Structure 1
Amino acid sequence: MASCDVNNLEPQTALSETTAFQTPDRIALAVAGVYDGGQSGFYAGNVVRGYAFGAAHLEQGDMRGEDMALAATFYAVTYQNNYDPTQPNNVYYWQNAYAMINRANVVIAGLKTATVSASLTQAQLDAYEAECRFLRAMAHHYLVVNFARPFSDNPTAAAGGVPYRTAAVTGGSTVDAAIQQGRNTVSETYDKIIEDLNYAEEKLPDTRTGNLKITRATKGAAIALKTRVRLHQNNWAEVIREANKLVPTSAPFTSSVGSYALTSSPLGAFGSANKSNSESIFSVENNDVDNAGTNGAPASMYSAVSANNGRGIILISPILWNQSFFPSTDLRKSSTAIASDTPGSAGKGGNFTRKYPDVTTKTENAPIIRYAEVLLNLAEALSRTSTGVDTRALALLSAVRNRSVTDAANQYTTASFATNKNLTRAIINERRPEFLAEGLRWLDIHRLAQDADFKQADGIPAKADIAITNFAPLYTNNPATTFRLQAGIPYSDFRFLWPIPTEEIANNPVLAKQQNPGY
């Protein structure tokens, strides 16, 4: 207390709303703070664990699916579908995503008050707003796929989506208004996501330099995210239209916007190349002094104990490993991509990804979207709208797959598919090994849950049982291999969705009447 300057009423770590938008430097810091809100969200006890986008979206997205297995009880609530409105996993996901959204809204409102000058043009202000609207759209999309039914279910059902917040909450009357806002419909939520991304595409720069090309929003990132969102709407024509802005008609498919291109190696966007590569379109930045920590960073969660000095908690499930579309010669199964532990070194043994090897300083960016996904999004949309086996869709699939499946015997040709549905199935299957440990499995489970042709037997598929004591012998490359499973959850079960947190229900009388059924 004695060393404090009591006359300095404005701390150096924060700026008031009235002063934050008075200079270009302060505006730049305020915008950076929106990204930080997504990367450094707090968990219980004010511990940083990367909620929602510094790492948590990876781990929670994988633990909701069946392609990664759990070797400990760390993510058991998510993995075993035992969440309730008080569980930290879903509570802090909701709270931190909306906290980032509010930061974005505060900055957007502040930008409207900034004075245009030679050093701060209207175009710069518009670009800053576009960054905030990109992040706002991204956060709302992750919220709607975790807390609401898919678009294919009943998109116009009242209060079926999530509250789409566009007004800054700063105190007083703004709080009063916010706690009266209820859930939008799913359709309204998606319309607003697209509206924000359209603005972002129009106002953002085509590309940036250095690590900012990946960690700050760009025109290409807005377009890429729209291909994902449109895929979730089953709007194949719009997936194709958006993707065609990035993807040329023929190989090698290098984008004219942002110069995106597949790396030659299946792990070319990871490890030491995580911050500078041609394939990562948007990732959330982590570094050695600001990351999700030992209990949240992907390096510690996904890495083997003996090979990488990780915690050995999230491993590759034998369910995925043994699929026929994931052949034994696939380079994503090679020692370059996989580290194996034996029981005793990690407790349960098993195969672990090498996508996040920096266990010591935990610097890896958390991936949101890669160019490989844009190619597969486009391939799926083309295949679904074709009357036969679409050759461009096959070429896009092969571009992604053949850098990993290098033996001709396992590569696809037009003769591999009797119908376009067979090709579509192969494209959907390819997403599973390609985006392993990137948190995308739940997004695909969610969007396909009511698909007429490709839905699974259960809404949440059966998973390798958490009680398995030795995973090592289960990687047989044989789909007929059996082992103990945790039962799947039917789509009709209330546990398909996360509950709105108790704190939100208590504070918002409108949302109190709109809790997901069953909770």
Structure 2
Amino acid sequence: MKKKNNLVVIALLVLLVGCSDSIDIRQPGRLDAENAFSTVTDLQLGLLGVYDQWDLTPEISLSANFCDEVSIGFDSGGQGLALYDFVLNAASDAARDFWVRNYRVNNRATLLIEAAANITPEANEQNQFNSILSQAHAIRAYANLELLTYFSPDPTNDNAPGTPVIDFIPGLDITPSRNTTGELWDYINSDLNLASTLSTEQSNTTFISRDAITAIRARAAITRGDYDTGATLASQLLASYPLANTTQYQLMFLDADNTEVILKLERTQNDNYDGQVNTGSVATGGGWAGSVFAFVDATITGGPYFEMDRSLFNALDPNDIRYTVNVAPTSIINPNYNTDPDPVNTDVIVIQKYQGSEGQPLMNDLKVFRSSEMLLILAEARAAQNNLTAAASLIDQLRDARFGSDQPTPSYGSQAEAFGAILDERRIELCFEGHRYKDLKRLGVSGNREISRDLTDCNNQSGACTLSANDYRFTLPIPIIEINANPGIGTEQNPGY
């Protein structure tokens, strides 16, 4: 059942979370935690407010627009052209959104955690109290993992610059410096340890459970390069979450099946995400995920201002259920697009991964973790351990599920070949879900992959067709909004900016 908004939650949010500063500082007269929350029921409402800050559409937008998932659509009004041309700097929406939004989530969760220290639950409230704290710590860990992933030049190097660790509600005069990546990992892992200890529920597709915490740990492990841990955690989840069959897979993206969903963010009519995003901007403002690509609906008449990049389309097989899920049947497929004088209008590949649910076009639940990602994490770990046969077997398992029939088992002659094949499979399996940017940053050099757009698509725009995975723009810059408020951190800017 879909969660409906609660007016009390919204009122609480208005009281507690109105702040425009980049690290969400405490302002004079602001209602403090001990006054805002006095009961476990208050904490539960506050937790819903923390969930309300959690959004994946900026990740979806960055990976699609900056990488090689989309081309400029025939119905484009100029949205996203700068990012498509690889223009990324401290003033870009991407830098501001990922910094401000994740620190906002960090702040909201911290406020809740601080408040809980002042509340003594009744005996019959203890499990609920523990669950609230568990989820708050896990969401805070997720937000800081995002900060580390996008802003640390090297998440595998503990001595690399990270982002400021803000484990308190800061005052007006705070001017934090960057902590090391290792210190940020310590903060993340401390939260995950507490979340795991306090968790009271094994699985839940819409609220953080022990399984979701395990999934965060698995993704964090491969981000850090800890493949042994990543393999162990991913294997645990695969034992409980089987891959969807072709029917279930299609229904999953209509929000009608949760077979392989470990955690998702529900989106429903009349919630705070029921509406059009800021089109063409990574600072989406929240909204329907499908409106990252189209104005009205996921059809050729629905105003697709972004279409599927032809190189991605060419990697899809019509017998693969992922083709059916991602390519709208109203698309115009021109087999001679690369020699056609007008491919913009004669080759139109409409993205329909988010075609809508509940009768609302373009609105779908956002899948945070799925078992297929865990399988791909395990395959990457096996390749890193030089068990290329096991890596190939896992990719074969995924492809068998997506085709609904036995497929040829691949064979890899080297780690680089295996890593490249895993990236290729991730590009198809996780397209338009916000992974491509992170995947290329983490594995692109090792797998000899880069941003590689179809030449017809990108040359029709500006010729921005390729970008090496070791380019500095695979790390976001500290945003100018933070530097203006905290000039000292400007001396710690990431290389290249």
Measured after TM superposition, the shift of residue 494 of structure 1 is 4.0
Distance, in Å, in 1 between the alignment partners of 2:210 and 2:460 is 47
178, 203, 206: which is aligned to 2:201? 206
Deviations for 1:32-82, whole angstroms, at most 9, x for unmatched residues? 11111224xxxxxxxxxxxxx3x2221112222113333233222322221
Match of 1:110 in 2: 115
The match for 1:350 is 348
1:270 to 236, 253, 260: 253
CA distance in 1, matches of 2:355, 2:199: 32
Alpha-carbon contact 1:305-1:341 (below 8 Å) kept: no
Equivalent residue letter for 1:126: N
Which residue is 1:65 aligned to?
67
Residue 420 of structure 1: CA displacement?
6.1
Q: CA deviation at 1:287?
A: 1.6
Contact 1:145 1:446 in 2 (8 A): no
Q: Provide the residue aligned with 1:374 in structure 2.
A: 374
Relative to the length of structure 1, the TM-score reads: 0.77
> Is structure 2 residue 311 aligned with structure 1 residue 319?
yes
1:398 paired residue among 396, 402, 410? 396
Return closer, same or farther for 1:331/1:306 CA change in 2, 3 Å cut-off: closer
Please say if residues 228 and 377 of structure 1, whose CA atoms lie closer than 8 Å, have aligned partners that are also in contact.
yes
Q: Is the 8 A contact 1:215 1:285 kept in 2?
A: yes
CA distance in 2, matches of 1:387, 1:499: 36
Q: Superposed, which structure 2 residues align to 1:422-433 within 5 Å? A: 422-433=417-428
Change (3 A) 1:440 1:498: same
Relative to structure 1, is the Cα distance of residues 468 and 312 closer, same or farther in structure 2, using a 3 angstrom cutoff? farther
Give the Cα–Cα distance (whole angstroms) in 1 for the partners of residues 45 and 330 of structure 2: 43
Contact 1:306 1:341 in 2 (8 A): no
The Cα shift of 1:405 comes to: 2.7
What is the aligned counterpart of 2:443 among 445, 448, 454?
448
Matched, 1:223 2:223: no
CA–CA distance in structure 2, aligned partners of residues 375 and 494 of structure 1: 29
Does 1:412 find its partner at 2:416?
Answer: no
Q: Of the candidates 319, 323, 338, which is equivalent to residue 333 of structure 1?
A: 323
Contact preservation (8 Å) 2:238, 2:375 = yes
CA offsets 1:214-259 (integer angstroms, 9 cap, x no match): 22111111111211111112211111222233233xxxxxx1xxxx
Change (3 A) 1:206 1:425: farther
What's the secondary structure of 1:403's corresponding residue?
A: helix
Shift of 1:499: 2.0
Give 1:490 shift: 4.3
Following the alignment from structure 1 to structure 2, what is the Cα–Cα distance between the partners of residues 308 and 277?
28
Corresponding residue for residue 268 of structure 2: 287
Match of 1:188 in 2: 183
Greater share of residues in helix: 2
> 1:302 aligns to what?
293
Tell whether the 8 Å contact from 1:22 to 1:115 is kept in structure 2 after alignment: no
Q: Is the Cα–Cα contact under 8 Å of residues 245 and 402 in structure 2 kept in the other structure?
A: no
Q: Tell me if structure 1 keeps the 8 A contact 2:273–2:288.
A: yes
Q: 1:333 to 1:490 in 2, by over 3 A?
A: closer
Contact 1:207 1:219 (8 Å CA) reproduced: yes
Q: Which amino acid aligns with 1:184?
A: N
Could you say if the C-alpha distance between residues 131 and 319 of structure 1 is closer, same or farther in structure 2, counting changes exceeding 3 Å? same
| Distance in 1 between residues matched to 2:63 and 2:369, nearest whole Å | 14
Name the CA distance, whole Å, in 2 between partners of 1:99 and 1:306: 31
CA offset digits 1:461-483 (Å, max 9, x no partner): 5565766669xxxxxxxxxxxxx
How large is the RMSD of aligned CA atoms in angstroms?
3.1
Are the aligned partners of 2:300 and 2:331 in contact in 1 as well (CA < 8 Å)? no
1:505 aligns with 2:483: yes
Say which SS state the counterpart of residue 206 (structure 1) adopts: coil
Tell me the distance in 2 between the aligned counterparts of 1:196 and 1:84.
Answer: 31
Letter in 1 for 2:409: T
1:260-286, Cα deviation, whole Å (9 max, x unpaired): 22221233421142xx51212122232
Mapped contact 1:38–1:100 kept (Cα < 8 A): yes
Instruction: Determine whether 1:161 maps to 2:172.
Output: no
User: AA paired with 2:98?
Assistant: Y
| Equivalent in the alignment of 2:51 | 35
Separation in 2, partners of 1:418, 1:90: 39
Letter in 2 for 1:125: F
Q: Does 1:142 align with 2:129?
A: no
Cα gap change, 1:82 to 1:116, in 2 (>3 Å): same
Q: Contact between 2:230 and 2:377, CA under 8 Å: does it hold in 1?
A: yes
Q: Provide the C-alpha distance between the structure 1 equivalents of 2:216 and 2:71, rounded to a whole number of angstroms.
A: 27
SS at 2:99 equivalent: helix
The one-letter code of the counterpart of 1:447 is R
Is the 8 Å Cα contact of residues 423 and 443 (structure 2) preserved in structure 1? no
Asked whether the equivalents of residues 20 and 30 of structure 1 are also in contact (C-alpha less than 8 Å), the reply is no
Q: Indicate conservation of the 8 Å contact 1:339/1:351, yes or no.
A: no
1:85 corresponding residue in structure 2? 90
What secondary structure is seen at the aligned counterpart in 1 of 2:364? coil
Q: TM-score, normalised by structure 2?
A: 0.80
Q: Within 2, Cα distance between the matches of 1:308 and 1:398?
A: 33
User: For 2:415 and 2:490, how far apart are their aligned partners in 1?
Assistant: 45
Identify if the C-alpha distance between structure 1 residues 125 and 307 changes in structure 2 by more than 3 Å, giving closer, same or farther: same
SS for the counterpart of 2:62 is helix
Partner residue of 1:20? Answer: 36
The answer to whether the 8 A contact 2:300-2:330 is kept is: no
Aligned length: 446
Displacement after TM superposition at 1:112 (Å) = 0.8
1:402 maps to a residue whose letter is D
Mapped to 2, the partners of 1:463 and 1:496 lie a distance apart of 20
| SS class of match (1:307) | coil
CA distance 1:57–1:493, shift in 2 (3 Å): closer
Rounded to whole Å, the distance in 1 between the matches of 2:344 and 2:206 is 33
Measured after TM superposition, the shift of residue 337 of structure 1 is: 5.0
Residue 175 of structure 1 pairs with residue 156 of structure 2: no
Distance 1:494 1:394 in 2: 31
Instruction: Please give the alpha-carbon distance, in whole angstroms, between the structure 1 residues aligned to 2:311 and 2:167.
Output: 41
